[in-house]
Amino acid sequence: MPDMPLSQLSLSLVTAFFIGGIAGFLGSLMITRRMALVSGPLGHLALPGVALGLVYSFDIFWGALATIAIGSFFIWLLTLRGGRLPVEALTAVVFSSTVALGFLILPIEEAERALIGDITTVTPFDALLAIVLSIVLFIIIRRIYLRSVLLGISTELALSRGINARKYNFIFLVGIALVVAMEVKIVGILLTAALMAIPAAAASNFSRSMTQYRNLGLLFGGASAVMGVCIAEATGLAAGPLIILTGTVLFLASLLFAER
């Protein structure tokens, strides 16, 4: 990664912190709900949109979001008409087809940017979008957080409390899709699941309550993104993988503190 001018570096750091933070925050709820792997397929669904964005020079966030939405809609349609196939089989069909389609569109010289992200090209608009969207998602997910945990423990108990399971799960999935679409810019489509799962997994080992868990998830996600960018700046290596590997180091350290 080439040396960035200071203003570009600060934009990158701010963007990375907010996206990493909200990814770790949501990640804690995803792990709790046993959905840690959901963001992987969603990231893959983003590829055609990212490819189109890179070919026609529009913001890859919107491209990613559009094809994630279309792909998820297709999976949902197939679950209605897919006979006896389980959802994960239908998801596999759709997301691998989408990846194949994406590679047809993606110019090979842009492959690295699509697959592992490129934080050096973030614009002030990207930074603003990351800040606003992360804060809005933080507020919304925080409101449904404990009740979503309750849904995971017992759907029936939650339903009897008047918790609308479909609504809560839908909000949660839309939140995950939005974070994945933002993540594509900084860690690429291949590493979206990692940024949501690894800092949160580290946070889990340090936490003695859900409140600690989600706050540490946010902190670890933000911190590993910022440290990843700094290490990339110092070493000239790609930021995306470094962000993930910083999280991995945090996770390994957390194992020393794991109580169970």
Nearer to another protein, 165 or 230 (CB): 165
Phi, psi dihedrals of residue 109, rounded to the nearest 5°: -70, -15
| Closest C-alpha to 46, from 171, 167, 169, 193 | 193
Please give the structure tokens belonging to residue 50: 């990212």
Interface pattern 147-176 for another protein (x via CB under 8 A): x-xx-xxx-xx-xxx---------------
Query: Per CB under 8 A, which of residues 90..149 are in contact with another protein?
Result: 146-147, 149
Which of 12, 204, 246, 254 forms a contact with another protein (CB under 8 A)?
Answer: 204
Exposure of 167 in the CB half-sphere (CA atoms within 13 A): 9
Please return the burial class of 12, using the count of CB atoms within 10 Å of its CB with bins 0-12, 13-18 and 19+.
buried
Q: Does 208 bind another protein (CB under 8 A)?
A: yes
Exposure of 147 in the CB half-sphere (CA atoms within 13 A): 19
| Beta carbon of residue 150, minimum distance to another protein (angstroms, whole number) | 6
Nearer to another protein, 132 or 146 (CB): 146
DSSP output for 90-146: HHHHHHHHHHHHHHHHS-GGGHHHHHH--GGG--HHHHHHHHHHHHHHHHHHHHHHH
| Closest C-alpha to 153, from 165, 140, 139, 171 | 165
Residue written as token pair 């963007």: 15
Question: Cα(253)–Cα(246) distance, rounded to whole angstroms?
Answer: 11
| Beta carbon of residue 147, minimum distance to another protein (angstroms, whole number) | 7
Q: Does 87 bind another protein (CB under 8 A)?
A: no
| Beta carbon of residue 213, minimum distance to another protein (angstroms, whole number) | 5
Query: Per CB under 8 A, which of residues 24..83 are in contact with another protein?
Result: 32, 34
Nearer to another protein, 161 or 167 (CB): 161
Nearer to another protein, 55 or 253 (CB): 253
| Beta carbon of residue 8, minimum distance to another protein (angstroms, whole number) | 39
Q: Are 21 and 134 in contact (CB under 8 A)?
A: yes
Q: Does 17 bind another protein (CB under 8 A)?
A: no
| Beta carbon of residue 249, minimum distance to another protein (angstroms, whole number) | 22
Q: Does 212 bind another protein (CB under 8 A)?
A: yes
**Which residues of the shown chain bind another protein in the complex (CB under 8 A)?**
32, 34, 146-147, 149-150, 152-154, 156-157, 159-161, 204, 207-213
